[in-house]
Structure 1
Amino acid sequence: MSDDVIVVGGGVIGLTTAIVLAESGRRVRVWCGTRPQESTSAVAGGLWWPYRIEPETRVGAWSLASLRVYEELARRPEESGVRLVGGLHAGARLDGLGPWAAHVAGLRESPEGVAAVLPLIDMPTYLRGLERRLTAAGTTIEVRRVERLPDAPLVVNCSGLGARDLVPDPQVRPVRGQLVVVENPGVREWYTSTEERGGETTYFFPQPYGLLLGGTAQEGDWNLAPDPATAERIIARCARIHPKIADAPVRAHRVGLRPARDPGVRVEREVTARGGVLVHNYGHGGAGVTVAWGCAEEAAALAAPPSG
C-alpha cells in the first residue's frame, strides 16, 4: 500500500519521525534492534541545545522547530518528561552562537557565560510518552534484528550508529559518552562548560531520577562498559562547580554511543534500484533530541508522494 512506511530505528529520531508520519495518516511500522528504553537515546542528558552537530546551515531551523514542540510539552511535565529549567553554559558567549540564538527567548550573557531557561528532558519518561503516542496512532514497534534495510516501497532510515553498516556509511562513527547518576544534593539548575580536554567535559542536569553528571566525548570509542576511573574524574570535575556533589551517593553509571557523522546529519531521499523510496535521517551526534522534530518533519516531507 502506498501509505505503508517502515521506519528503521527506535531511538528518539526514529520514534519522532514515526509519529510525524503516523499522525499525517500513514500506516507505520517501526523496526528496531532494542526497545526504545534500551536505546542510546535513553542514556542522553536531555538538554535542548545545538551541541556537536552539523551542518550549521541547517541545524538552526531543525533546532528551533523542535524547541517549539518542547515548550508546548513542558506544559505537562509529569506526563511528557519535559521541563523548562534554568542553567548556565559556562564560557559561552552570545556572539559565538549561530543565528538561531536570536530566536531563543531569554538568553543572556554574564561574566560566567550564557544563562538560559531551556527544555530539560527526562529521557526515559519522554520515550515512554512517544511510545504511547505511537500506539494511539496505530503504529507497531517491532523488536527485530535488522541486518539490512528492508526492500519495501517506502523506508525511512533512522538507524543512528547502525547506518554505518546498514547503508553502509563509513562516515558514521561513535562518540562515547559516559555519565554518572547521583542522588541530587539540592542542585536545581543545569550547568555545562565549553571546556573540553582529552575528550572529557563537565556538565550536570537535575532530573527527577537524580542528578546526571557528565561526561566524555571519546571519538571512535565503541566501549559500552563504564570505566571506574572515568567516573571518579566526572564526579570530581562536577564537584569543583558544586562541592556537595562530591559526597552524593552514586545511583547508576551509564554509557551511550552518540551516532556522529563527519559531514553532519543526513536527511536525504533516494530512489532504490527497484524503484522504492529510501529516506535517510541519521548522523545526529550528541544533539538528536535538540533537532528531532525539525528533522522528522523534513524526513516526512521527503517521504510524501509527489503532488499531482
Structure 2
Amino acid sequence: MAGGASDEIVVVGGGVVGLTTGVVLAEGGRRVRLWTRDAPGATTSAVAGALWWPYRIEPAGAARAWALRSLEVYEELAGRPGSTGVRMVEGVLGETRLDEVAGWLAGRVPGLRASTAGEYAGTGVRARLPLIDMPAHLAWLRERFEAAGGVVEERAVSSFAEADAPVVVNCTGLAARELVPDPSVRPVRGQLVVVENPGIDTWLVSVDAAGRYTYLFPQPGGLVLGGTAEEDDWSLEPDPATAEAIVARCAALRPEVAGAKVLAHRVGLRPARPAVRLERDALPDGRLLVHHYGHGGAGVTVAWGCAREAARLVTG
C-alpha cells in the first residue's frame, strides 16, 4: 500500500455505510483502519430487509442520485449472488403510480411497468430491483475491505479525538447522536419476522390507509416479513403483539404466509435525520473529520454513491 502515516484514515462505524466507505478508500490506495463497536452481524445493517429503494431518507434528490450510482454496483454484484449476497428480484411497489417513479428511473430499471390486477390488487409498479441478503453482504464487504489492505478493529469510542490518524470518517449512524453530538439523529424502530418461505419468489411492498408499510422479501434464509417505523423508540426487544400483527398483514396480502413456521424475530433502529450529513468538519486539533451519517432507512440503497462522495471529501 502506497503512502505513509499521513495517508492513514480511521473510519468509525462498521455497518454497511462504514464498510463500503472503507472499501472505496482502501481500494483508492489509502491506509484505512475501521473501528467498529459491534461485529458486522450485530449492526443495524444486519437487520435490514434489504430492498434497494430510497426509503425514509432526505434530501430526496441527492438520495436518488446516490441510489442510482449504487444501483450500478449492485447490478454488477448480482452476477455473484452466492458470495456478495446481492440478487436482482422481481416485485411490486404497492400504492405507487408509474408516473411517480418513471422520471428518475427511466432507462435505469428495465421492464419497469404498472403492475397487473393479478400481481397486486391495488395500484402498483412492477420492477426488478436488487434484494440484498445483509449478513452475507456484510461479510463479503469485510473480506473485500481486508483484501484491499484495510484493518478492522473492534473497539468502542467516546470521542473522535481518540482516533490516531490525520483523517477520521464518522459513519456511526445512530451513535452520532451522542458522539458528535447531534440531537437531530433519532431512531426509527423497525421490527421484522423471518418465516419459512412457503414458495414466494417475488418481493412485495404495500402501504395501507394509515401509512403502515407491509413487505415480504424472499431471502436465502427465509421469507422476511415487515415491518414497522416507530419514531423515537429505542427498544431492541421484539414485541410479540407487533410480530403477530406483521404476520397477519402479510398473510392478508399472501395467504400462504399464514401458519408459516417462525424462524426469527429481528429489531433494528434506523438512524433518521432531517437530511443526510455528508460534509467536511475539523477536530479540535485541526485534523480532518468527515461526517457521513443519517441515512434513515436507505443506508444499503445509497451506500456506494455516498461512499464515493465521502471519499472525495477526504481527498479535498
Q: Identify whether the pair has TM-score above 0.5, normalized to the shorter chain.
A: yes
TM-score range, shorter chain: over 0.9
Q: Report the CA distance between 1:110 and its aligned residue.
A: 2.9
Corresponding position: 1:169 with 2:173: no
Corresponding position: 1:233 with 2:245: yes
> How many residues are aligned here?
303
Q: Report the CA distance between 1:196 and its aligned residue.
A: 6.2
Residue number in structure 1 paired with 2:150: 139
TM-score, L = length of structure 1? 0.95
| Contact 1:60/1:99 (<8 A) preserved | no
2:218 partner letter? P
Secondary structure, counterpart of 2:258 in structure 1: helix
| Contact 1:83/1:119 (<8 A) preserved | yes
User: Within 2, Cα distance between the matches of 1:69 and 1:235?
Assistant: 33
1:282 alignment partner, one of 276, 293, 298: 293
User: Within 1, Cα distance between the matches of 2:173 and 2:102?
Assistant: 25
User: Within 1, Cα distance between the matches of 2:102 and 2:44?
Assistant: 27
Q: Report the CA distance between 1:99 and its aligned residue.
A: 4.1
Residue number in structure 1 paired with 2:114: 109
User: Within 1, Cα distance between the matches of 2:129 and 2:159?
Assistant: 38
Moved more, 133-142 or 157-166: 133-142
| Contact 2:25/2:32 (<8 A) preserved | yes
**Equivalent residue runs for 1:64-213 within 5 Å:** 64-97=68-101, 99-102=103-106, 103-110=108-115, 112-151=123-162, 152-195=165-208, 197=210, 200-213=212-225
2:309 alignment partner, one of 272, 295, 298: 298
TM-score, L = length of structure 2? 0.93
| Contact 1:203/1:238 (<8 A) preserved | yes
Residue number in structure 1 paired with 2:13: 9
What are the Cα deviations for residues 99-133 of structure 1, in whole angstroms up to 9, with x where unaligned? Answer: 42223332211353000000000000000100110
Residue number in structure 2 paired with 1:255: 267
Q: Report the CA distance between 1:205 and its aligned residue.
A: 0.2
2:64 alignment partner, one of 52, 60, 65: 60
| Contact 2:7/2:166 (<8 A) preserved | no
| Contact 1:89/1:192 (<8 A) preserved | yes
User: Within 1, Cα distance between the matches of 2:115 and 2:284?
Assistant: 55
| Contact 1:4/1:28 (<8 A) preserved | yes
Moved more, 92-101 or 80-89: 92-101
1:49 partner letter? W
**Equivalent residue runs for 1:13-28 within 5 Å:** 13-28=17-32
Structure 2 portions without partners, runs of 5+: 117-122
Judged with a 3 Å threshold, the aligned counterparts in structure 2 of structure 1 residues 53 and 99 are, in CA distance, closer, same or farther, namely farther
Q: Report the CA distance between 1:156 and its aligned residue.
A: 0.4
Judged with a 3 Å threshold, the aligned counterparts in structure 2 of structure 1 residues 128 and 290 are, in CA distance, closer, same or farther, namely same
1:176 partner letter? R
Secondary structure, counterpart of 1:75 in structure 2: coil
What are the Cα deviations for residues 1-59 of structure 1, in whole angstroms up to 9, with x where unaligned? Answer: 22100000000000000000000000000011101111000000010011111101211
Q: Report the CA distance between 1:147 and its aligned residue.
A: 1.1
| Contact 2:22/2:34 (<8 A) preserved | yes
Structure 1 portions without partners, runs of 5+: none
Q: Report the CA distance between 1:273 and its aligned residue.
A: 3.1
Moved more, 152-161 or 230-239: 152-161
User: Within 1, Cα distance between the matches of 2:224 and 2:284?
Assistant: 46
User: Within 1, Cα distance between the matches of 2:279 and 2:111?
Assistant: 34
1:145 partner letter? A
Secondary structure, counterpart of 1:37 in structure 2: helix
Q: What is the aligned-residue identity percentage? A: 62
User: Within 2, Cα distance between the matches of 1:7 and 1:192?
Assistant: 34
Moved more, 151-160 or 284-293: 151-160
User: Within 1, Cα distance between the matches of 2:22 and 2:52?
Assistant: 21
